[in-house]
A and B are shown apart, each in its own frame.
Chain A
Amino acid sequence: MKVLELKNVHKVYNTTQVEVHAVNSVTLDFDQGEFAAIVGPSGSGKTTLLNMIGGLDKPSQGQILVNGTDLTRLKSSELIDFRLYNIGFVFQSYNLIPVLTAKENVEFIMNLQKWPREKRDRRTRELLEAVGLADRMNSRPAQMSGGQQQRVAVARALASKPKFILADEPTANLDTRSTENLLDIMETLNKNENMTFIFATHDPRVMKKAHRVITLEDGKVIEDRKKQ
């Protein structure tokens, strides 16, 4: 079953001097449970593409269907709710809420979705255990290393079981050990929860782990390779 379909997606930025075709007629689809990496050099359009998939930005042309819903037709207020229930985000610079503890950060989206407390607590514990941070529940982000923070961010993104996880350069700020560790955790979650992961990255360590590598250049897909 397709969770995500992109049909002839374009994004053109009209800056004062030049017109930038950041994403150029991209057509792609993703199945439930994929572990895919969008790769390419800096400026090739990875972030732009990921933002449009996540409903943070609108394409200039084309359609983006998530479980059949066309994101390009939603108003920005509808998009916020759509994101809340369908998409998990992992950012390059972790972006945890500094005044909340690890546990509270993980709970955040479940709270917005008004989960009952018991169910919420169970899920939070399960996820923090899965990312190996059960003992850091009450730590604030500033008290954790970058790798630990990114693991909390992954737990937060996964918490409410969204349709898929979008991660923009999740390993760019991490050392090799933390990167391996994070990738292992994500791979396990992908397998155990059948969760779809889409990365934007130019990190070879991520490419090596990915089950599918989509290569972008100047906003165009020049290669889409599935590993076995």
Chain B
Amino acid sequence: MKNYTYAWRNLWRNRRRTFITAASIFFAVFFALIMRSLQLGTYDYMFKNIIESYSGYIQVQNPEFWEDKVVDNTMLPDEDLISTLKADKNVLELIPRFESFALASSGSRTKGVMIMGINPEKENLLSDVKNKLVKYRLTEAAIDSLTREDIPRNTLRNLKLFSGSSYSGDGKLQTELGIRDKDTSHIMPLFRKHAGVQNGYFSQDSQGALVGNRLAQYLGLSRGDTIVLLGQGYHGTTAAGKYAIDGIVRLPAPDLDNKIVYLPVTRCQELYNAPGRLTALVLHIKDNSDRAIEQTVERLMSRIDSTYRLMGWKEMNDTIVNQMDADNKSGMIMIGILYLVIAFGVFGTVLMMTAERRREMGVLISIGMRKSKMAIIMLYEMLLIGIMGIMSGVAVSLPVIIYGYHHPIVFSSKMAKMWEDYGFEPVMAFQWIDTYFIWQSLVVAIIVLIAAMYPVFRIYRLKEVEALKA
């Protein structure tokens, strides 16, 4: 009779208890994994959004610029820099940026805005501004006309909820309004007819601007209107200019959408009286894993001189990285509480197991079983329960996470509205199977082992004569 055979048989003395204990471990592991996956996945999604619509993964700047973002701290990239950057194996393209602030006014309204000078072609490699142009807008008038058309009831209800919203793609419009796939061929033409927006992109030598959707709504701008920008230029000059609106873009991050004005980079340099100068060169890179980014930064750092500074995305987005960090910690506390509850459950089982087997342990030790062997058997029993719980938890969460990874949860109707009102994109993404699987399983295994220390302790303190009387 092997130790584990005996342990295994012991598990089935009280099937129900073994099952309940294993099941509680299963639920803990299952929920912890799903929670972790969602949390980590959603951070990744948000970071990707910010990186790809704004900061990029790596930037080259004037060393002064980050601390004091004024036009005087721009840089004039020289040939050496450009060729060094372009020669790097992980760098595919250099994307120029001229970023500053200005007051924007249109009619009687004025607002502080962010001016982003971009190269209209190259920028699409990174933030893909072109595909963010607003295609539909649910104005009062548009909704009015749509209600008179033959549209399913739930979509009509959602129309009211999303009154005023804009969409840059068909997909998002369809999920938010709950338009079913089979209805699209009939409904989308109606949306194009009543809610479609005339929109356009711009080119390098355009005299126009693109504005964020929320900003456009605030300033009451539509295509063809004029916006006046006023700010401080290079070396104390005044920056002032008048631009026609070429298009309206909808950025997923509400914060940016509310303040962004895109200009072609040369127009921007003219506006600020800083010809040839840039606030940043964004590196469009091949491999964007954390490791590759670190290596690229290190490699380039040694090659370019100190009149330039390299910044990774984490450094550039430190506020949000910190925010996510805090959120991540609160998520871990939640899981910690979940584990604590499970730990008590497991401990309860261990207590009962030990109490009801006291006499049997007394007998076994009396007839000559070593205490160490007895302890190992008890450990095996707890481990077996733990392994059953952990393995089933992992096994059941795997397909859920794999499915979720390929199909992120995109909220529709009310939920979506709520998330957007809070300034989040209404999307929850799953993180692919990763080290968090190992961590969660390990933590649960350790909890089980710690609980199993109790019977071990009791076995070593057991007095044969007393145990036999039990």
Q: Mask for A92-107, Cβ within 8 A of B = 1, else 0?
A: 0001011110001001
> Which B positions have Cβ atoms within 8 angstroms of A?
1, 6, 9-10, 12-13, 359-360, 363-371, 373, 464-465, 468
Contacts of B464 in A (CB 8 A): 51, 56-57
| Most chain B CB neighbours (cut-off 10 Å) among A56, A84, A107, A157 | A56
Q: How far is the CB of A13 from chain B (nearest CB, A)?
A: 11
Q: Assess the B10–A91 pair: CB atoms within 8 A.
A: no
Asked if A30 CB lies within 8 Å of chain B CBs, one says no
B274 to chain A, nearest CB (A): 85
Closest residue of chain B to A57 (Cβ to Cβ) is B465
Instruction: Tell me the nearest residue of chain A to B370, going by C-beta.
Output: A80
Q: Of A51, A57, A77, A97, which is within 8 A of B364 by CB?
A: A97
- Count class of interface residues, chain A: 20 to 34
Judged by a CB distance under 8 angstroms, whether A35 is at the interface is no
| Bound CA span A81–B370, Å | 7
Residue on B nearest A83 in the bound complex, by CB: B368
Partner-binding segment picked from A36-44, A108-116, A131-139, A143-151: A108-116
Residue numbers in A under 8 Å from B364 (CB-CB):
97
Across the interface, A81 reaches (CB within 8 A) one of B10, B13, B368, B468, namely B368
A83 and B13 contact, Cβ closer than 8 Å, known pairs A95-B359, A100-B1: no
Cβ of A54 within 8 Å of any chain B Cβ, yes or no, is yes
Task: Report the bound CA distance from A101 to B156 in whole Å.
Answer: 72
Give Cα A156 to B10, complex, Å.
20
Bound CA span A57–B366, Å: 10
Q: A56-B465, A97-B364, A99-B10 are in contact. Are A112 and B369 (CB under 8 A)?
A: yes
Contact A56 B9 (CB under 8 A): no
Selected contact of A80 from candidates B9, B12, B369, CB within 8 Å: B369
Q: Which residues of B contact A156 (CB under 8 A)?
A: 367
What are 17 A-B contacts defined by CB distance under 8 Å? A51-B465, A56-B468, A57-B464, A77-B370, A81-B370, A84-B369, A91-B363, A95-B360, A95-B363, A97-B360, A99-B10, A99-B13, A100-B9, A112-B368, A112-B369, A156-B367, A157-B367
Residues of A close to B468: CB separation below 8 A:
56, 91
Indicate if the CB atoms of B6 and A99 lie closer than 8 Å.
yes
Is A89 in the interface zone, CB < 8 Å from B? yes
Residue numbers in A under 8 Å from B465 (CB-CB):
51, 56-57
Instruction: Produce 1/0 per residue, A60-83, CB < 8 A to B.
Output: 000000000000000001001101
Contacts of B365 in A (CB 8 A): 80
Q: Complex Cα distance A64/B285, Å?
A: 85
Task: Indicate if the CB atoms of B6 and A84 lie closer than 8 Å.
Answer: no
CB distance from B277 to the nearest CB of A (A): 82
What separation, in Å, do the CA atoms of A156 and B12 have in the docked complex?
24
Known interface pairs A56-B468, A81-B370, A89-B367; 20 further A-B residue pairs with C-beta atoms within 8 A, sorted by A's residue number: A51-B465, A54-B366, A56-B366, A56-B464, A56-B465, A77-B371, A80-B369, A80-B370, A83-B366, A85-B368, A91-B363, A95-B359, A95-B360, A97-B360, A97-B363, A97-B364, A108-B1, A112-B369, A112-B373, A157-B367
